[in-house]
Structure 1
Amino acid sequence: MAVLKVTFTKTKRGKLAQVLWVLNWVSVVTGVTLFSLGLFLKVEILKRRELMSDDIHSVPNMLIGVGLAACGINFLGGKICYDCVDTTKFLRWKLVMLPYIICTFFFTFCILVGALMCYSMHKELEESLFLGLRDAMRYYKDTDTPGRCYIKRSVDLLQIQFQCCGNSGYHDWFQIQWISNRYLDMTRGEIADRLRSNVEGKYLADSVPFSCCNLYSPRPCIQHQVTNNSAHYNYDHKSEELNLNTRGCRQALLDYYTQIMQSIGFIVLIIWLFELSVLTGVRYLQTSMENVLRLGDPDSESDGWLLENSIAETARYNFNIIKNLGKCYQVDDDPNIDVPTTSQSAQGNVPTGKLPMAS
């Protein structure tokens, strides 16, 4: 029994073909939208690639590829639907329709996968940001090292733009040496003592870069001896929440990219529903036009459906096809393998005597 069978008259078939022709051209625009969203996300990731440990370009690459495929598939679909208005023109597309629908189905499935990937890469993004920011803070002082001279500028711009500090908070700067030895006065006893007291010979202090300062602080920013209350007048580092940015840059970037990907994921889901409706309409058009050809009367009514048989029967049929694909022809099972052929029997009956020699 056919699934979701609908009866179409000649007029309804023509209107369906015209509507699908328009929707396929709209789908070309949605393909451009998918491509643009993927390109936008890729650019946003590339802007801060030095602050991430891994290249997490799977989602934007997926959207870019699906967007390009959408433009090509829906352009072809528009041409097919336009010709399906006329039964005679449909004949040239009859053999193409089913492969086209199968390809469109997998393409629509890829759109759904792309939408789900936008919501599922949160953990991967967080880990990449954690490792990337950790390394960026470690190389913050290497302004004279080739390949790392831009790290300081990138980190400072990040902390100013997103009003954040450190990886998880400003305390992260206390655990690394972010001031280059070139700018340390080794003749000062305090600095020499700090270097000697550290096992790795690093200069660690309770200080942060200037970019950690809160723009809305009512007092001049205190970035050195942050935890020393006696070093500053009328100061308590536990209560001075406005002095430094307290939010970590990892969380700030994670919120930023999560908001972008959730918005993109929602748009992609809407596009997926739209493409699914177009695919459904094309399937109805294909089955109804094929039934018209079977009837032989272009003006008669015809039935269209999504599946010719029930879902269970269709699944069983496809499963049997897949199961039989792996079977090879077994020579040993041939019942005629040991049966001699006629020519072999004839050769066996020929006498083996010598031919008489001519005298």
Structure 2
Amino acid sequence: MLALADFFVAIIETEISIAPRHLVALLPLFPRVKLAQGLWLLSWCATVAGATTFTLGCLLKTELRRRAEVMDNTDIHVVPNTLMIVGLASLGINYFASKICQDALDAGRFPRWKNFLKPYFAVSCFFTVLMLLSVIMSYAMKGSLESSLKAGLRNGIRFYKDTDTPGRCFQKQNIDRLQMEFECCGNNDFRDWFEVQWISNRYLDFGSKEVKDRVKSNVDGRYLVDGVPFSCCNPRSPRPCIQYHLTNNSAHYNYDYLTEELNIYLRGCREALVHYYMGLMNTIGAGVLSIFILQGSVLVSLRFLQTAMEAVAGKENTEIETEGYLLEKGVKDTIMEYLDPVLKFFLLKNGGKVEEGAAADKPAAVP
């Protein structure tokens, strides 16, 4: 019973002693050396991970630019742009982390980092949080991606026939390749082709009664048909592809358009592209999330090493037991400590002091 009482007394004394600080770890000389050596290796692993993040951002950027002709806006590019920025920043952050770990093995060289570490941690935390935001955005951009593809594919189908118009010469080629590569047809489905004139006027015989009747029957004077381009044809179909009169069963022998699933692709290209890009971004997001955890581990470990080495600075006996901690103050006080220099830089606090001083100098009203 006496030993148990002593145990609880020791816990209470420890908690009282570390109350001003948060997440304290006792680090004698040997654990400090092992922490510095392990953190040096971890920082180089994080450097490679930063290069990987930059590469993943470039890969996603390239894939998005490949389909730029069927995307209406560039909002989705914020994800790869953020990944590239964070990846490059991670290279610098972890390079300096490795140098700090090297100097931590020599108590005489470590103090030269004293004035550098505070802004270093502020910048590192900012880009680490930005990495987490890029992961969240990669999962949350589905709505923006879908609306962008919806408008872009609609315009791509509408301009499919304009092979002689400057700026749209390759629109037909791009749409055909897209439909064959992703095995899709139209925007929502193949019926989208029924609503646009996708055959150029140069290939229509306006002397033909059928062409004249179709053009006159349309309010806008367009030549509309219940047919689709050849790129909608499914090569796995057992019969030759039926492109025209798709909904007219009597126009073809032994044909029922409701059951002929293999004749053309039934899935819309928007659905196919959203599935492809979201799968790509979700995979990249999972990879970047693991890199974020690695980057966070480097910063937390480096903070413990820094605070432990600060207690050794200027002392001859480097074998003393020191304390490494994550936060010296509370979270709010720590944030304000880092924000104060920024606020002073923009003269926000000075302006407040001037106003307070002006209010203090104002004479009180005489009753």
Query: Given the two structures, how large is their TM-score scaled by the length of structure 1?
Result: 0.89
- Note the alpha carbon deviations across 1:15-58, whole angstroms, 9 max, x for none: 11111111111111011100100000011011111011112311
In structure 1, distance between residues paired with 2:304 and 2:350 = 29
SS at 1:4's partner residue? strand
CA distance in 1, matches of 2:218, 2:168: 25
Q: 1:48 to 1:335 in 2, by over 3 A?
A: closer
- 1:254-293 maps to which residues of 2 (within 5 A)? 254-293=274-313
Structure 2, unpaired ranges of 5+? 1-18
- Secondary structure of the residue that 1:224 maps to in structure 2? coil
What one-letter code is carried by the residue in structure 1 that aligns with 2:205? D
Matches within 5 A, 1:1-359: 1=19, 2-55=21-74, 56-293=76-313, 297-311=317-331, 314=334, 324=349, 327-330=352-355, 331-332=357-358
Distance change in 2, residues 1:98/1:151 (3 Å)? same
RMSD: 2.1
Aligned residues: 337
Structure 2: which amino acid aligns with 1:60? P
Gaps in structure 1 of 5+ consecutive residues: 338-359
Q: Work out the CA distance in 1 between the residues paired with 2:242 and 2:23.
A: 71
Q: Structure 2: which amino acid aligns with 1:332?
A: A
1:119-158 deviation digits (Å, cap 9, x = unpaired): 0110000001000000000000001111101000010011
Partners of 2:160 and 2:362 lie apart in 1 by 81
Q: In 2, distance between residues paired with 1:210 and 1:319?
A: 62
Q: Is the 8 A contact 1:101 1:282 kept in 2?
A: no
- Which stretch of structure 1 is more off in the superposition, 309-318 or 251-260? 309-318
Paired-residue identity, %: 48
Aligned to 1:355: none
Please say if residues 122 and 338 of structure 2, whose CA atoms lie closer than 8 Å, have aligned partners that are also in contact: no
Pair 1:314–1:185, CA change in 2 (3 A)? same
Tell me the equivalent position of 2:6. none
C-alpha separation between the residues in 2 aligned to 1:269 and 1:290? 32
- Asked if the contact 2:307–2:323 (Cα under 8 Å) also holds between the matched residues in 1, the reply is yes
How far 1:312 moved relative to its partner?
A: 6.1
Give the letter aligned to residue 173 of structure 1: W
Higher gyration radius (CA): 1
Alpha-carbon distance in structure 2 between the residues aligned to 1:133 and 1:336: 67
8 Å contact from structure 1 (residues 3, 311) kept in 2: no
What is the SS of the residue equivalent to 2:323?
strand
> CA-to-partner distance for each residue in 1:263-284, whole Å, 9 max, x for gaps?
0000000000010011000000
